[in-house]
């Protein structure tokens, strides 16, 4: 265990040096080829968990130290061990003993300090946690600026939103409607002994009738698993996609024969969903060629096709052929504040100034894409953020500046129970992440 503790502390340290968690973990797995699948899972859990609760763990550790540690490696090791004691099933004293072993690899004379700090925590755990709760960083495990923004925007709902971002994310599936349906695939999972539940996507069928409910649904697994264990995954029966993200393709209201643009397409979940719903001429564009390759992989697995273009959605040059689109999906770059339970490093990598930077980028993309939309066409603006500066504010400013733009009501059925939309904002909960949607019509 001590080798995994040490590796996790190194991963956390690299994240705080400014690197992406998934990239660092991938490199660590490659560097430590002798790790078993169980050890890889443990390393991932320790890395994700320590970052998820970093604010709380730091508030506890400060109480246990007489002065800040000069060795950051030791500090990260202690945080990893504290996470294990608080949130894992490992025996507390085993965690301490293994952390003492790991400390020797970091600094020869550090084992005594690590032993004293962790055993002191075991003796005073309840009191230390109670003191940590007094600060909002300790209570919610977010940077203070993030807590302040959410509180200012959401008031009494802030605590629920913040705590939702600290939960383990569900593994949710989207059934390929060309090959199957959610009810039948749920039955197939049960035949394979895989426990799951159906999540209704409560949609009104836009463009046809305002009373007919679309029979759409997502499937949430009781336990996450490797995709190769899912029946029919390799053959394209199903994809992994958050239930909240599955609204996008339905909202865009595509029909056979339409020319459609997915402007920030990678890794391709929304592109493939659009193609599952209708026979369209789809352009999937992304400025990152490597990430666009993942779109191609998803298309091949699902036996679908689209035109893939490397290009910047904020610029016309180099990729657009000058022909207008009838539908445009603008899933724009953002802070990803609505998906932090899947990417806990985001909480600590983001800075307040980043939000304004994303908002400017979003305005540029939206304005540019609007030029590519034909009259009578629709554009769906999407983020995975809960910050109004990237969402409501961007759309409101765009509407003021473009008199030919009209915001349409999202086709969500009355009495939605599985989700909640507040002026386009979907708040994170146990069934889905946090997304923002705005459907714009070009008059």
Active-site residue numbers? 384
For residues 175 and 182, the answer to whether their CB atoms sit within 8 Å is yes
**Beta strands 373-383 and 325-331, pairing class:** parallel
For residues 264 and 164, the answer to whether their CB atoms sit within 8 Å is no
How deeply is 322 buried, as exposed, middle or buried, from its count of CB atoms within 10 A (0-12, 13-18, 19+)? Answer: exposed
| 83-88 contacts at long range (C-beta below 8 A, 24 or more positions apart) | 83/46, 83/49, 83/50, 83/53, 83/57, 84/5, 84/46, 85/118, 85/121, 85/122, 85/125, 86/53, 86/57, 87/49, 87/53, 88/45, 88/46, 88/49
Quick one: how far is CA 116 from the chain centroid?
Answer: 38
Kindly report the number of other CB atoms within 10 A of residue 391's CB atom.
Answer: 26
Helix 269-277, helix 289-302: angle, nearest 10 = 40
């Amino acid at each position: 265990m001590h080798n995994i503790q040490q590796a996790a502390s190194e991963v956390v340290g690299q994240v705080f040096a400014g690197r992406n968690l998934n990239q660092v973990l991938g490199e660590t797995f490659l560097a430590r080829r002798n790790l078993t699948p169980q050890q890889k899972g443990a390393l991932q859990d320790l890395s994700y968990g320590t970052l998820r609760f970093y604010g709380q763990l730091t508030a506890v550790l400060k109480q246990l130290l007489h002065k800040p540690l000069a060795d950051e490696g030791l500090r990260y090791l202690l945080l990893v061990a504290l996470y294990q004691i608080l949130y894992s099933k490992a025996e507390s004293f085993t965690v301490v003993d293994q952390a003492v072993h790991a400390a020797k690899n970091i600094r020869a004379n550090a084992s005594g300090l690590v032993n004293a700090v962790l055993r002191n925590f075991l003796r005073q755990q309840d009191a230390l946690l109670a003191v940590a709760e007094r600060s909002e960083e300790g209570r919610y495990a977010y940077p203070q600026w993030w807590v302040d923004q959410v509180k200012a925007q959401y008031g009494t709902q802030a605590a629920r939103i913040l705590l939702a971002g600290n939960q383990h994310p569900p593994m949710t599936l989207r059934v390929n409607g060309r090959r199957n349906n959610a009810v039948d695939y749920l039955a197939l999972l049960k035949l394979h002994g895989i426990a799951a539940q159906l999540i209704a996507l409560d949609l009104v069928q836009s463009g046809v009738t305002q009373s007919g409910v679309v029979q759409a649904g997502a499937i949430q697994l009781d336990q996450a698993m490797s995709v190769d264990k899912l029946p029919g995954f390799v053959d394209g029966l199903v994809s992994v996609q958050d239930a909240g993200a599955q609204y996008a393709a339905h909202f865009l209201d595509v029909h056979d024969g339409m020319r459609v643009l997915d402007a920030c397409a990678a890794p391709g979940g929304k592109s493939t969903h659009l193609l599952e719903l209708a026979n369209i001429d789809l352009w999937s564009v992304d400025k990152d060629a490597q990430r666009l390759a993942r779109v191609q992989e998803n298309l091949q697995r699902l036996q679908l096709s689209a035109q893939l273009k490397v290009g910047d959605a904020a610029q016309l040059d180099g990729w657009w052929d000058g022909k207008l689109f009838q539908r445009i999906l603008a899933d724009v770059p953002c802070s990803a504040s609505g998906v932090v339970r899947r990417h806990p490093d985001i909480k600590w990598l983001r800075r307040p100034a980043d939000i304004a930077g994303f908002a400017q980028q979003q305005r540029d993309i939206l304005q540019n894409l609007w030029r590519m939309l034909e009259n009578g066409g629709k554009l769906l603006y999407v983020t995975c953020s809960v910050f109004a500066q990237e969402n409501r504010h961007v759309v409101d400013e765009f509407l003021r500046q473009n008199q030919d733009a009209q915001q349409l009501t999202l086709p969500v059925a009355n009495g939605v129970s599985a989700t909640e939309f507040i002026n386009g904002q979907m708040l994170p909960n146990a069934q889905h992440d946090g997304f923002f949607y705005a459907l714009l019509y070009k008059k």
